Structure 1
Amino acid sequence: MNDKELAQKIIQLSGGKDNIKKAIHCITRLRFNLKDESKANSKAIDDLEGVLGTRYQNGQFQIIIGNNVKNVYIQVAKILNLDIEEIKEDNNDAEKPEENKEKRNIISSILDVIASSFQPILPAIIGAGMMKGILAILTVSGWVSGESGTYQILNIVADSAFYFLPFLLAVSVARKFDVNEYLGIVVAGALMYPTILDVAKAGGAEPLYFLSIPVPIVNYSSSVFPIILSIIIMSYVYKAIDKFIPKPVKLVFTPTLTLLITIPFVLAFIAPIGTYLGNYLAIGVNWLFENAGLFAGLLLGIFNPFIVMTGMHYGLFPIIIQNFGTLGYDSGYMVVNLVTNVAQAGAVLAVALRTKNKELKSIGISSGISALLGITEPAMFGVNLKLKKPLYAAMISGGITGAAVVALGLKNYGFVTPGLVALPTYVSPDGSSKNLLIAVLGVLISFIIAFTLTWIMGFKDIDKRKKDN
């Protein structure tokens, strides 16, 4: 079945074109917002060749494709006549907001906002994170001097996405909340304005005053929560104002009043609250890993597959970014995620070598390579979860090695998809080889344990299943 045929089948079994309100994709999944979820035949879609599984999550019907998701999405987009990512809403679909609110709890809503905010900007921060690792290698090896112009330029490449993160998030959050992204960029510009940043960097503690209201001086570079909360507030202000402004003057007065109301309110109240929220969350998580590292690494290593399956790992992204901005490294989730991803690879490659099912062998090899590079969903959904015992083996391995690397103080210095390609980001800026050695040993041991356990425990091999074409 080629990509076009698969796309046609998926749309047909999802209730047809008219049942799909919105269609987007992430790294491995098609994500549909359906008008009537009961019309989707998830069992039949599961059985399609090229589909690794389906699930309902955060109000979306998600079809797990794996590494080929982009090609399948292109065919979906052609069939649905999408301009970019979504179908234009039916004006008669007035019940949608209420329906979604009923189906989602507060935790799901928060995770959905964070996931939607970070997914579009991942290429930028992953590229910059990888550059940090490469720059560390160049510096430690002596190929580039820390005082040279070459170093300064490469450091700009590595640091700019993190330093100006509020601008990147402003665009993605504005799109999520259906408000003009350029207004969002202006709000980010207010947070990053030199008048505030220069004083904050100089250690100034005296606030500015706007109509006798104190405006705290805070360095918002590399921050996450302040801009997310600010754009959410701006979206509500914009929509409230837009309802009352006459159509002939909307273009002038709606954005003017939105910025006039939003920016002072954000600078005085919302952004500082977001800063304190991010700081204290990071402090709490870091305290947990510092004081109960062995136990925290063990639990996170065991249950990380389920954290990834449910999308809860996106909820940790703001804390990880906060750590990179304040500490320069992360010694919690990123290091555990590295060894758990490799454990999934070890388990699925053991399946690939042992199974007599040619199709399963092919899926196992391709998804194993993908997992080694940091993308584990094809391995988890396509093989390990279905066979169960390989998943158990990966969880045991992840728990053991997760506890070990946290206890040994492993640090990650760049936000890169946790896999073999991320190893350069474990090179310590001080030139020490200890951190990289721990990372390499953690990866090797995690792979070996998962592979060996899967081989010893075995699994019930499956007959070649016939796919509904």
Structure 2
Amino acid sequence: MDYKKTAEEILQQLGGAKNVQSATHCVTRLRLKIKDESLIDDEAMKEIPGVMGVMRKAGQYQIIMGNDVNNYYRAFVKLGNFDQVSEEKETQKKNVLAFIVDVISSSMAPVVPAMLAGGMIKVLLIVLPLIHLLSTESQTYAVLTFFGDAPFYFIPIMLAYTAAQKFGVTPMLAVSVAGIMLHPDFTALVADGSPLAFFGLPVTLASYASSVIPILIMVWLMQYIENFFNKIIPAVMKTFMQPLLVLLVSGLIALVVVGPLGIFAGEGLSTIVVWTQTKAGWLALGLLSAFMPLIVMTGMHWAFAPLFLIASPATPDVLMLPAMLAANLAQGAAALAVSFKAKNPNTKQIGLAAGISALVAGVTEPALYGITLKYKTPLYAAMIAGGISGIYVGISGLESYAFAVPSLVALPQFIGSTGNSNIINAIIVAFASIILTFIFTWILWKEEPVKTKINTIGETDTQDTTLPSGSSDPKKVSAPLQGKIVPLDQVNDAVFSTKMMGEGIAILPENDLIVAPFDGTVTAVFPTKHAIGLTSDSGIEVLIHVGIDTVELNGLHFETFVTADQKIKQGEPLLKADFAAIKAAGYDTVTPIIITNTDQYIEVVAKEDLEQADFQDALIYVV
């Protein structure tokens, strides 16, 4: 297929590059913003090789290209300087908080394995000396220390890469900006404390090691910086001038603008908490313990450094470290509760490792980014329990006599020279935080059950399990979700109702989980998570398109459990969609299941006589 020629013909029929305002694509079609749609002849557009149909919908001119749309899109965007439609902007307007959480969690998700590794190394550094298998004075201990610290210290660099992929920024430029913020010479200047200026502008002396929010803000801004220079720099100079200017401007903003925002926010928070602590200590400690996960996430806890870094018997810390004891153990308990309750093996493993890391070593990032923030309700449980425990911290006047990251192993930091009351209170706080969080998480967090129905001749057996290997019928596509059957010709989208993509059926979902309809392979998971392509072991190609026009949500309300090229078994979870939220956002949730290689079969028969589909009901047969 000549993608370039087809793209050129499409652009010509659109009225040229000047008539195209922006271009993007979903799983089946080009989605274009056109300045003047009256210039387009729909019938002429349909005659172009590769074009299956056109639609004018939701302010877009949509050209249906089928499964090969990505190749057509790449060829098309090379023909002009088309802006991508910013789905993030749309999502941001609809729900700012959900957008922020989605950006953080999706950017952090690929980093979680590294944090888990670092956290477990820190656990070893605590346990091995306790059982006398490793000396804290040995070179091995020193080397392992920076092994454990590295994944956390360099989080900004890793996030620069993952966030760049989300926002469409050049990854290596984003990584370079993170490198500026962590450069050893800049770190040394920060430690020296002398005033620093860049082009006459004051540079805030801030440490960005282990921080999350500053680099995410910077990469988000870089999409606009790159786009600006891409528009104004002549093509002949773009190769060297654009990266130069993007790096200079982004680095300047990072050190001069983003730095002060973080510092001012941290200092403001510190002032408020200290003032509250002098007026009502129990309230300050309760709030600080409850919101500690969010404070650590922003890096603003370092604003309290003068208070807790000098912790000693002479000057005990009565604020930050006691609050962190309640908060850290709450994160660990929440992760453990999810691990014990989850049926998904991957969730169980991540939860267990993250829980141990937080409880034993006080390293909460794996729990926060791998479990609690991702699933939300465990985070709420940890914050509530941490707040309750923090109130007791304030009432009891708990003091920390040494600087150590609070954890079960580090409880001796609360042993004082004036009796046992302080360490007893610390133990009470620790167990209260763990027990309350575990109970709250167990109640609040619910994992979607995977129910499968195995059909054999003469009997039907429903059980909460995945079908065993080899049980997938090579000529059958089972129901990937529960809900009401809808004939394909009744779907409110011409691409599906006219069967341009192939034969199939649709389901109006009554459950948020989508599972594998057969044994096979995941051929594609669209970046916006609203559609997934599968191929059975017998060669049946299926597209599951969750909702209509849900590409506009840009992944909001969707969670995927599989990746491209992954082998799947019938009944295995593929993705989860919050259909209530999708419906509330104004989108049709009807989900078409399409056989995209229909032309390879004599007949494709959809079971439209069914009124209701349950997991693994026979839905489509091929001959």
| Selected match of 2:210 from 222, 229, 251 | 222
1:343 & 1:193 partners in 2: Cα distance? Answer: 35
Q: Look up the match of 1:5.
A: none
Residue pairs, 1:96-245, within 5 angstroms: 96=87, 99-105=90-96, 107-139=97-129, 143-201=133-191, 203-208=192-197, 210-245=198-233
Partner amino acid, structure 2, of 1:144: L
SS in 1 for 2:208: coil
Structure 1 window deviating more from structure 2 (131-140 vs 435-444): it is 435-444
Q: Deviation digits for residues 148-184 of structure 1, max 9, x if unmatched? A: 2122112102222233333223223323322012111
| Residue-by-residue CA offset, 1:174-233 (whole Å, 9 max, x unaligned) | 2332201211111122222233222322x241324x444444444433344443333333
Q: Measure the CA separation in 1 of the matches of 2:334 and 2:230.
A: 52
Matches within 5 A, 1:256-295: 256-281=244-269, 284=272, 292=280, 294-295=282-283
Q: Over residues 33-70 of structure 1, what are the superposed CA-to-partner deviations in whole Å (9 max), with x where a residue is unaligned?
A: xxxxxxxxxxxxxxxxxxxxxxxxxxxxxxxxxxxxxx
* 1:423–1:162 Cα change, 3 Å: same
Which residue pairs with 2:475 in the alignment?
Answer: none
CA spacing shift, 1:206–1:298, aligned 2, 3 Å: closer
Cα distance, 1:343–1:258 mapped onto 2, change above 3 Å: closer
Q: Residues 395-453 of structure 1, C-alpha deviation per residue, up to 9 Å, x if partnerless?
A: 997765453356564889669xxxxxx745x45579999498456533665389879x9
Q: Is the 8 A contact 1:226 1:274 kept in 2?
A: yes
Identify the structure with the greater strand proportion. 2
Residues 10-409 of structure 1 aligned to structure 2 (within 5 Å): 94=85, 96=87, 99-105=90-96, 107-139=97-129, 143-201=133-191, 203-208=192-197, 210-247=198-235, 249-281=237-269, 284=272, 292=280, 294-295=282-283, 317-319=297-299, 322=302, 327=308, 331-332=322-323, 335-336=326-327, 338-339=329-330, 342=333, 373=355, 375=371, 400-401=388-389, 403-404=391-392, 409=398
Whether the 8 Å contact between 2:338 and 2:351 is mirrored in structure 1 is no
Report if the CA contact (8 A) 2:287-2:387 is conserved: yes
* Aligned mates of 1:164, 1:340 — CA distance in 2: 22
Q: 2:333–2:435: 8 Å Cα contact kept in structure 1?
A: no
Question: What is the aligned length?
Answer: 345
Distance 1:262 1:163, change over 3 A: same
Structure 1 residue 102: deviation in Å?
3.2
Q: Partner amino acid for 1:318? A: T
Where 1:206 maps in the other structure, the secondary structure is coil
Separation in 1, partners of 2:334, 2:86: 44
TM-score normalised per structure 2: 0.42
Is the 8 Å Cα contact of residues 300 and 399 (structure 1) preserved in structure 2?
A: yes
Given residue 121 of structure 1, which amino acid in structure 2 is its aligned partner?
Answer: V
Contact 2:210 2:299 in 1 (8 A): no
C-alpha separation in 2, matches of 1:345 and 1:134 = 19
Contact 2:169 2:223 in 1 (8 A): yes
Identity across aligned pairs (percent)? 27
Aligned residues of 1:130 and 1:414 also touching (Cα < 8 A): no
Q: Which runs of 5+ in 1 are unaligned?
A: 1-15, 22-79, 353-360, 386-390, 416-421, 455-463
Q: Residue 135 and residue 232 in structure 1: after superposition, are their counterparts in 2 closer, same or farther (change >3 A)?
A: same
Alignment partners' CA distance in 2, 1:313 and 1:82: 42
Residues 103 and 396 of structure 1, relative CA distance in 2, 3 Å threshold? closer
Within 2, Cα distance between the matches of 1:123 and 1:410?
34
Distance (Å, rounded) in 2 between the aligned partners of 1:246 and 1:395 = 52
Per-residue deviation at 1:241? 0.4
Looking at structure 2, the residues matched to 399 and 320 of structure 1 have their Cα atoms a distance apart, in angstroms, of: 18
**Partners of 2:266 and 2:300 within 8 A in 1:** no
Matches of 1:189 and 1:176, distance apart in 2:
19
> 2:455 aligns to what?
none
Structure 1 pair 216/183, CA: closer, same or farther in 2 (3 Å)?
A: same
Partner of 1:37: none
> How far is 1:145 from its partner?
3.4
The 3-state SS of whatever aligns with 1:184 is: helix
Q: 1: distance between equivalents of 2:86 and 2:434?
A: 52
Look up the equivalent residue of 1:262 and give its one-letter code. S
Deviation at 1:376, TM superposition (A): 6.8
CA offset at residue 147 of structure 1? 2.9
Cα contact 2:233–2:241 (8 A) shared by 1: yes
Change (3 A) 1:427 1:320: farther
Q: CA deviation at 1:272?
A: 3.5
Distance change in 2, residues 1:181/1:283 (3 Å)? farther
Using a 3 Å threshold, how does the CA distance of structure 1 residues 166 and 376 change in structure 2: closer, same or farther?
closer
Residue in structure 2 matched with residue 358 of structure 1 by the alignment:
none
Contact 1:413–1:428 (Cα < 8 Å) also in 2? no
Q: 1:127 & 1:178 partners in 2: Cα distance?
A: 28
Q: Distance in 1 between matches of 2:83 and 2:215?
A: 33
Name whichever structure is richer in helix by fraction.
1
TM-score, structure 1 normalization: 0.53
Name the larger-Rg structure. 2
Contact 1:192 1:221 in 2 (8 A): yes
2:91 is matched by which residue type in structure 1? N
1:243 counterpart SS class: helix
- Bigger relative CO (Cα 8 Å, ≥ 6 apart): 1
Residues 449 and 402 of structure 1: CA distance in aligned 2, closer, same or farther (over 3 Å): farther
